Amino acid sequence: KELKGPTSNLTTMLSGRVAGLISYQTSGEPGRDNATFFIRGVGSFGAGKVDPLILINGIESTTTELARIQPDDIEGFSVLKDATATSMYGTRGANGVILLSTKNGHSGKTKFNIRYESSISSNAKGYNLADNVTYMELANEASLTRGGERVYDFNKIEKTRVKANEYLYPNNNWKEIMIRDYTLNHRMNMNVSGGGDIAKYYLSASYRFDNGMLKTHKTNNFDTNIKNTSLEIRSNIDLNLTKTTIASVRINGLFDDLSGPATSSGVYTGSDVFKSMLKASPVAFPAVFPQNMQPWVKHPLFGNASMSGKNESNTIDLYYNPYANA
């Protein structure tokens, strides 16, 4: 029960619940939200950060496999920290050992358990951006202070201030355009256990759906939001072959489906989206043009602009449309 909480990632529930364990989470993005943890302090054995040894039912496992286990399937959880307790694992256990065992079957009537949860995730707080008129005025001030010319003329600033024409005088708020205020996540676990004198069984299936925070343009016929769907199936069967012999069969399958925006060079992560929002100019071009400008085009008409100047290759990101790539 102590490992249950409003998250589908078990590693994020360890912080503050296990003595001597230090954990931190660098991202809440679906599929990339695993917590990093130390058991024997930052000065761990080996070069740099070395993860502890994770054993699930006696089998060495990864942090991702630990993260996907649902609390309903856990029978026992313990952390070995001192040298005496970890000595049997050799140097592999020098950074601590996490032992996790899943539930087994029991003699008696068959028991069914079903649990369904929904939770709300909100966007990260703690930062506010200046309005676009202030942005242009400060850009002019910075340029004039260094002996340069005005970056934005008076007419553009005033037209933007009165919101004259959003396509001729763009006034983008990238955060409002691209990021949702909140999103819904879903988790479900079903398990059945039982058995008799010869065989005992525990079967479970877990499903989780973690939704990202990216908005999708209404004219898109596909969803570019970051999403992670996970399905885990577990089967623990114990067979009493003789009075002194027990055969234990442990089968586990984990299926992960991660989707989101991508580029020619690979996956476009939530961190990339956030960085592009901070780099992109909010007044150089509109995020997207109305569809009636070119009704024969079946995809969104994203705005863009090119920069002229001596250092174009070094500053082209300023005229990069983050909405088009997300």
User: pLDDT of 195-222, one tens digit each?
Assistant: 998 999 999 999 999 998 888 777 666 7
Which three-class secondary structure state does DSSP give residue 76?
A: strand
Distance CA 217, CA 75 (A): 45
> What is the rounded (10 degree) CA torsion for 320, 323, 324, 326?
110
Cα angle vertex 128, ends 323, 8, to 5°? 70
Closest among 31, 41, 38 to 98, alpha carbons compared: 38
Looking at the DSSP assignment, which residues form a beta bridge with residue 113?
Answer: 191
User: What is the model's pTM?
Assistant: 0.75
Give the mean model confidence (pLDDT) for residues 116-143: 87
**Other C-beta atoms within 10 Å of 164: how many?**
13
What pLDDT is attached to residue 139?
93
What pLDDT digit, counting tens, does each position of 23-77 carry? 787 788 888 888 887 776 655 455 555 678 899 998 888 888 888 888 889 898 8
Host H or E run for residue 157: helix 154-161
- Amino acid letter, 12: T
Q: Which residue has the higher pLDDT, 179 or 203?
A: 203
> What is the rounded (10 degree) CA torsion for 41, 47, 51, 56?
-120
Whether pLDDT at 188 is above 70: yes
Give the mean model confidence (pLDDT) for residues 231-255: 92
Winning range, highest mean pLDDT, from 93-102, 121-130, 150-159: 150-159
Host H or E run for residue 231: strand 227-240
Looking at the DSSP assignment, which residues form a beta bridge with residue 111?
Answer: 193
Closest among 24, 28, 26, 55 to 38, alpha carbons compared: 24
